[in-house]
Amino acid sequence: MKSVGSRIRVLVVDDSSFVRKALVRMFEESPEIEVAGVAPDGASALELIEELVPDVITLDVMMPGMDGISTLCQIMERRPTPVIMLSSCTGRGAEKTIRALELGAVDFIDKCSVGGAMDISGLERELTQKIRVAAGIRVALPLPPEQAAPLPIPDSEPPRIHPKLVVVGTSTGGPAALTVVLAKLPAELPCPVLVVQHMPPGFTGPLAERLNRSCAVTVKEAQDGEELRAGWVYIAPGGKHLKLTRRGERLVTRLDLEPEGTLHRPSVDVLFDSAATHLGSGCLAFVLTGMGSDGVRGAMEIKRRGGKVFVEAAETTVVNGMPRAVAAALEVDGTLPLPEVGERISAEVGRQGL
């Protein structure tokens, strides 16, 4: 973590000389960020990290030789530092970005989402915000799901409600957190799970595919008009809101752009509001690591209608903004360290059918 009152020292790692120069110019006049050094490849970056000890590193995903993933692994092994990946949603960029987030990168910038062709003004706004947040993060390697010791599921006190739907909201740090949580869920989980992870278009599909390969439950990117199935996890696609509607007695997904004024699309609030409207006390909500306050309004609505709301404990979050905001706004039903979230979902849902 950076010292209070000093400028945030950033190491820029990118094989493109254009990008390196653009980022240097971007922060020349910044009162809070300075470029401490630049590196054209992973090997040079590892040397400069030892010499410069930067507060934050921006790291290109796709580089010749030692690529961003290999470089990130070396950084986390030698000198764990907050890393923001620079990526693209095209080709293998999205898949590698998801892998980087699982390996300990704290966030990423999608070059396509800031106007395309490296829109400098859009990139500067987004990157400045993410560097500011990253500088306050104490980096810890993500906990592999197979090493998260399972906890016994208590059977002495039955749940007060029989949830018919689990909804999850997360942002910064979410991909690694979801890996831990979903790996604990049994294939026979008797209800569906809907997830909002703040991500731009092009990244949620690869995220769902990676999670599906490591979990007993079926994980997929949600499509419009799907009937929800028990034991399936639906990830909201980047750029669209995920809501619920009904087809007879069955719950069905609905994807659209309304409301347009939300800070995030997909929005945790929009999903939680829709779940509360259609299921009321049948909702079980979890708010995990993330920046900001998305989810507060929706969590309040779920509680108002008799559902349960849990938040991740501060000590296991990458960024405690979303869980803290929810806990400050309402009386949550529990605050759980990340390794306990999956077990709690199973305990609350139990073996009650839909």
Domains and CATH numbers, the chain: 8-135 (3.40.50.2300), 149-349 (3.40.50.180)
Confidence tier at 149 by pLDDT (50, 70, 90) = very low
CA atoms of 90 and 275, how far apart (whole Å): 33
Tens-place pLDDT, residues 185-224:
999 999 999 999 999 999 999 999 999 999 999 999 999 9
- Catalytic (active site) residue 198: yes
Q: How much is the pLDDT for 91?
A: 59
Question: Which of 171, 241, 269, 273 is labelled catalytic?
Answer: 171
**116 or 97, which is more confident:** 97
Tens-place pLDDT, residues 254-270:
999 999 999 999 999 99
Please tell me the pTM assigned to this model. Answer: 0.86
Question: Which of 162, 198, 241, 264 is labelled catalytic?
Answer: 198
Q: How much is the pLDDT for 88?
A: 73
**Residue 343, both tokens:** 């077990």
Mean per-residue pLDDT, 322-327: 98
Q: How much is the pLDDT for 264?
A: 95
Confidence tier at 248 by pLDDT (50, 70, 90) = confident
Pairing type for strands 193-197 and 232-235 reads parallel
**86 or 138, which is more confident:** 86
CA atoms of 312 and 336, how far apart (whole Å): 5
Mean residue pLDDT of the chain comes to: 89
**Which is nearest to 33 in space by CA: 139, 128, 137?**
128
Mean per-residue pLDDT, 245-249: 89
CA atoms of 214 and 219, how far apart (whole Å): 9
- Catalytic (active site) residue 41: no
Q: How much is the pLDDT for 158?
A: 39
Q: How much is the pLDDT for 144?
A: 57
- The amino acid at residue 192 is P
Question: Which of 55, 110, 294, 333 is labelled catalytic?
Answer: 294
